[in-house]
Amino acid sequence: MQDMNPDDIAGTYREYTLELYNAGTRTILVTDIETPYPDGRLIVSRTDPDGIITHVNRSFVEMSRYSEEDLVGAPHSILRHPDMPPAAFKDLWNTVANGETWHGYVKNLRKDGGFYWVKATVIPNVRDNRLVGYTSVRRKPSRKKVEECAALYPTLF
């Protein structure tokens, strides 16, 4: 996956290198700027069984700051923030691989280096008993839950 571009970043940033499952390494640039989740919206995306994005809605594009062209065809880990513990994603993939629904609170990385918190639900898409991909829907989290996760996640590394 492409490294993040300093020209896209708003404000001062820190640099990290992430090891991404099935997507190699990626240099990311991170700021402390949070974008609040907008009221009443759902962020929706679909991936193929390997986690490659096949569909995004307008709210996804607006919140992530990536274009639809940037997103479709990219691994979903394009949103991976270094503050998210790998254990959370391991749990996600183990759950959906078993055909079950996963939900949790996720800190996502934007193209401009900022972040936004979501309450995420991921379900496997099964057609004629065959897994064809995953649908992920994100909605506005409560501030209390975000604060709990922001305190808990650093302990899970």
Partner 1 sequence: MPYIFTVSPDFTPDHLAGWFIFNTWLQRALREAFHLELYDDFQSQREAIHADKIDLIYANPYDAAMLVRDKGFTPLVKPVGHSDEAIIAVSADNGMTEVEALQPGVRVATTDDPDVHMMGMIMLEPADLNADNIHLKTCDSYVLVAKKLVRGESDVGIFLDEAFNDLSSMVKRQLRVLVSSQIQVVHHSLMLGPKLAPHYDALRQALLAMPDDPKGRGVLSSLGVTRWGGVDQEEMEFMIDLMDTLMV
Residues that bind partner 1 (CB under 8 A): 37, 39-42, 44, 46, 57-59, 101, 103, 119, 121-123, 125, 127, 135-137, 139-145
At its nearest, how many Å lie between partner 1 and the CB of residue 39? Answer: 4
What would the two tokens of residue 120 be?
Answer: 């995420």
CA distance 66 to 4: 11
Minimum gap (Å) between residue 59 Cβ and partner 1: 7
DSSP assignment, residue 86? Answer: H
The residue (of 4 and 56) whose beta carbon lies closer to partner 1 is: 56
Query: Smallest distance, Å, CB 47 to partner 1?
Result: 12
C-alpha to C-alpha distance for 130 and 113, rounded to whole angstroms:
37
- Which residue type does 65 have? R
